[in-house]
Amino acid sequence: MQANKNFSIAIQICVFMDFKGQERYSSKELADSVDTNPVVIRRQLARLKAADLMQSQNGPNGGYYLTRSTDKITLWDLYAATREGDFFNRPKPNPDCVVGSNLKYLVEDTFYNAEMAMKPELEAVTIRDLSQKLTKILDC
């Protein structure tokens, strides 16, 4: 399990960017913030780029930047960009067992519905919301 982790890192990167307010961020800077390796960050950001949430520029003074305002990026956007694989996860059922081999079909509708039920909750929160909340916390 770990679409969760990628999701969490994506949130952190975006909030970090909004909070800092720079133009661009190198993978090195972001890696320090997340406490991991720059290459790990670049791999993560490749997903966000694929979802048109992030852009990058090569060369000196290059780096990554968000393609739109942080009040237009919701947690659902990041969830969708970083999720992978099946919500329901039964990799290798015994093909001789009628239950195991059909279970996927039995539950896929329900699992889809469950996942979609989260959508409005995650859409209700933007990156801007989180970074403003953070600012408030730190003011105390």
Q: How many residues bind its own copies (CB under 8 A)?
A: 51
Please give the Cα distance from 78 to 48 (Å, whole number): 8
Identity of the amino acid at 52: D
> Closest distance between DNA and the C-beta of residue 58, in Å?
4
Please give the Cα distance from 60 to 37 (Å, whole number): 19
Please give the Cα distance from 13 to 32 (Å, whole number): 11
Structure tokens at 36: 């991991």
* 55: helix, strand or coil: strand
Place of tokens 């329901």: 88
Q: Contacts with its own copies in 115-134 (CB under 8 A)? A: 115, 117-118, 120-122, 124-125, 130, 133-134
The distance in angstroms from the start CA to the end CA of the chain is 36
Q: Quick one: which of 43, 72, 102, 108 contacts its own copies (CB under 8 A)?
A: 102
Strands 54-57 and 63-66: antiparallel
Residues that bind DNA (CB under 7 A): 1-2, 5, 25-28, 36-40, 42-43, 45-46, 49, 56-64, 91
Q: Contacts with its own copies in 36-75 (CB under 8 A)? A: 75
> Closest distance between DNA and the C-beta of residue 56, in Å?
4
Interface ranges with its own copies (CB under 8 A): 1-5, 7-9, 11-12, 15-16, 19, 32-35, 75, 87-94, 97-100, 102-103, 105-107, 110, 113-115, 117-118, 120-122, 124-125, 130, 133-134, 137-138
